């Protein structure tokens, strides 16, 4: 019994009972490989969103108070007012904001189903102790079910692209399982192949496994890309995870670069930017995560090297003051590429509206008018900037003819948001994930009327619940 009087084992058993007991036998994630996406997903038809408030995030096109978006076979073919669209199916956009889907740029999807084990008010049950300990017991099937649960939430919240920061790749099979979950849900994204939880810092990452995943999965139909996530780096103490030695950094990063793959790195704790720059390791293929403790000199280095920085507002705002503050204003002022990320959903949600709102609030609190931050700039951070960060802005991030159709419709009549004046103001100040009505990824309508069109919500929840209960039992978790 814990201090709130809830028996943890009983809660887990209840979750497993709800889930109907044992896991289904056999692999659920089929064959890996290119071109296999979307077998059970809706097709890419031809349709036109009519009469919506259209926010394109393309400065050359602008916005439309009442506009249309015409999509054919996954491609945006036209954006404008009263478009002629022939026999295209009409999606009624009246009472909706039509905008690019949200783009996450750093998310540990493998931890999604650990929720019943985590607490925000008990350090022993915090995100890190739970994920560090349980991660060692993951099977590929666990990875699949946890990632799929997180992706389902992502879609429901209006995300159309994620950067799956997979730092528990225990075998190439685990990587294939996570990629299968991305493929099967129809999500666009980058898979960042990482180490495994508990791996010694002196051991290089599995570059052979990485190369195999690249051979088997890349290139595909354009939905999924590949990179690596690095373990922490630096020449100062890092109490959370430790740092890998410079020779291992060179092996891991060099191996990724030899395959043409980008690199992402947490900078939690003391900043490693000067250290990395002196080692000549920074370049435009590097994304850093958590901009909390950078100096003006380091921000200059980042701008010059073309390094991007991903901000995870909800998780970062939970850290103690000594961990630093979210430096969005400083990064924008220095001209560093920035983007927005969810981080994890173990103890909070995928909620881009909350992320934008929180960033605005903290910016006002700390910096205010010295660095102007508009609602539109925040929507750009949550959409187009993410595509730029992930190197896929030619494909997604704005409603631009020729780009793939990754777009969402947000209801403007719901009680928490209506009546809507300026749409950007409504999105940043008022909207919630529950207002997301329709989600379209690569021309496939994956959510309509706030419900999945193909994914089986009940099955995803049932299998994730059963898997985490079985995992906790295997790990003797109590
Ligand atoms: Zn992270």
Measured CA angle at 271 (ends 266, 276), to 5 deg = 80
Q: Is the pLDDT of residue 38 over 90?
A: no
**How far apart are the CA of 166 and the centre of ligand 1, in A?**
10
**How far apart are the CA of 81 and the centre of ligand 1, in A?**
41
**How far apart are the CA of 20 and the centre of ligand 1, in A?**
32
Q: Is the pLDDT of residue 285 over 90?
A: yes
Residue with tokens 């602008």: 62
**How far apart are the CA of 441 and the centre of ligand 1, in A?**
25
Compute the mean pLDDT over every residue in the chain, rounded to the nearest whole number.
92
Band of pLDDT at residue 321, cut at 50, 70 and 90: confident
Strand partners, 190: 163, 225
Which domains, from first to last, does the chain contain?
Answer: 102-389 (3.20.20.140)
Tokens, residue 405: 């159709």
**How far apart are the CA of 438 and the centre of ligand 1, in A?**
28
Distance CA 114, CA 123 (A): 15
Q: What is the pLDDT of residue 92?
A: 98
Q: Decide: 224 and 188 in contact? Cβ < 8 Å.
A: yes
**How far apart are the CA of 50 and the centre of ligand 1, in A?**
39
**How far apart are the CA of 219 and the centre of ligand 1, in A?**
26
**How far apart are the CA of 264 and the centre of ligand 1, in A?**
10
Distance CA 426, CA 314 (A): 20
**How far apart are the CA of 285 and the centre of ligand 1, in A?**
18
**How far apart are the CA of 315 and the centre of ligand 1, in A?**
9
10 Cβ partners below 8 Å, 6+ apart? Answer: none
**How far apart are the CA of 159 and the centre of ligand 1, in A?**
18
Distance CA 285, CA 374 (A): 28
Strand partners, 72: 46, 75
**How far apart are the CA of 46 and the centre of ligand 1, in A?**
38
**How far apart are the CA of 14 and the centre of ligand 1, in A?**
30
Band of pLDDT at residue 29, cut at 50, 70 and 90: low
**How far apart are the CA of 277 and the centre of ligand 1, in A?**
22
> What is the DSSP code (8-state) at residue 318?
T
Q: Is the pLDDT of residue 72 over 70?
A: yes
Q: What is the pLDDT of residue 26?
A: 32
What sections of 186-245 are H helices per DSSP?
207-217
**How far apart are the CA of 105 and the centre of ligand 1, in A?**
10
Lowest mean pLDDT among 31-40, 56-65, 210-219, 274-283: 31-40
**How far apart are the CA of 59 and the centre of ligand 1, in A?**
31
Q: What is the pLDDT of residue 242?
A: 79
Distance CA 162, CA 187 (A): 7
Cis amide bond preceding 219, omega within 30: yes
Render pLDDT for 362-383 as a digit per residue (tens, 0 to 9). Answer: 999 999 989 999 999 999 999 9
Give mean pLDDT, residues 229-234: 93
**How far apart are the CA of 106 and the centre of ligand 1, in A?**
6
Which residues have CB less than 5 Å away from ligand 1 (the ion)?
343
Dihedral (CA of 164, 170, 171, 177) sign: negative
Q: Is the pLDDT of residue 234 over 90?
A: no
202 Cβ partners below 8 Å, 6+ apart? Answer: 244, 245, 248
């Amino acid at each position: 019994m814990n201090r709130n009087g809830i028996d943890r084992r009983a809660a887990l058993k209840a979750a497993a009972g709800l889930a109907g007991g044992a896991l289904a036998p056999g692999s659920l994630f089929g064959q890996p490989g290119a071109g296999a996406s979307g077998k059970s997903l809706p097709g890419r038809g031809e349709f036109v969103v009519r009469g919506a408030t259209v926010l394109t995030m393309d400065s050359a096109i602008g916005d439309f108070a009442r506009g249309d978006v015409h999509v054919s076979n996954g491609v945006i073919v036209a954006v404008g007012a009263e478009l002629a669209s022939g026999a295209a199916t009409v999606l009624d956009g009246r009472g909706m904001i039509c905008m690019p889907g949200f783009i996450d740029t750093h998310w540990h999807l493998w931890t999604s189903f650990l929720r019943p084990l985590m607490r925000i008010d008990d350090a022993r049950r915090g995100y890190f102790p739970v994920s560090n300990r349980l991660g060692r017991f993951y099977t590929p099937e666990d990875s699949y079910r946890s990632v799929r649960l997180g992706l389902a939430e992502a879609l429901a919240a209006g995300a159309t692209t994620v950067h799956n920061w997979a730092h528990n790749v225990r075998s190439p099979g685990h990587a294939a399982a996570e990629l299968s979950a991305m493929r099967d849900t129809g999500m666009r994204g980058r898979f960042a192949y990482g180490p495994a939880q508990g791996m010694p810092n002196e051991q290089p990452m599995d570059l052979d496994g990485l190369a195999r995943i690249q051979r088997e999965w890349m290139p595909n139909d354009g939905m999924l890309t590949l990179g690596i996530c690095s373990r922490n780096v630096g020449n100062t103490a890092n109490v959370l995870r430790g740092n890998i030695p410079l020779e291992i950094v060179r092996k891991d990063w060099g191996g990724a670069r030899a395959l043409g793959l980008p690199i992402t790195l947490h900078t939690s704790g003391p900043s490693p930017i000067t250290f990395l720059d002196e080692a000549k390791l920074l370049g435009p293929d590097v994304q850093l995560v958590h901009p909390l403790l950078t100096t003006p000199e380091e921000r200059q280095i980042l701008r010059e090297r073309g390094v991007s920085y991903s901000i995870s507002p909800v998780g970062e705002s939970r850290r103690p003051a000594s961990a630093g503050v979210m430096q969005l204003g400083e990064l924008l002022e220095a001209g560093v590429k920035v983007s927005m990320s969810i981080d994890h959903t173990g103890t909070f949600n995928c909620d881009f509206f909350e992320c934008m709102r929180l960033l605005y609030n903290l910016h006002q609190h700390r910096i205010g008018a010295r660095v102007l931050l508009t609602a539109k700039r925040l929507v750009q951070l949550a959409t187009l900037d993410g595509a730029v960060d992930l190197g896929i802005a030619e494909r997604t991030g704005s409603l631009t003819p020729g780009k793939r159709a990754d777009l969402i419709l947000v209801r403007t009549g719901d009680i928490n948001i209506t009546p809507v004046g300026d749409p950007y103001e409504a999105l940043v100040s008022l909207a919630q994930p529950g207002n997301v009505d329709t989600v379209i990824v690569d021309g496939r309508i994956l959510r309509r009327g706030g419900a999945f069109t193909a994914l089986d919500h009940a099955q995803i929840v049932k299998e994730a619940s059963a898997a985490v209960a079985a995992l906790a039992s295997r790990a003797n978790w109590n």
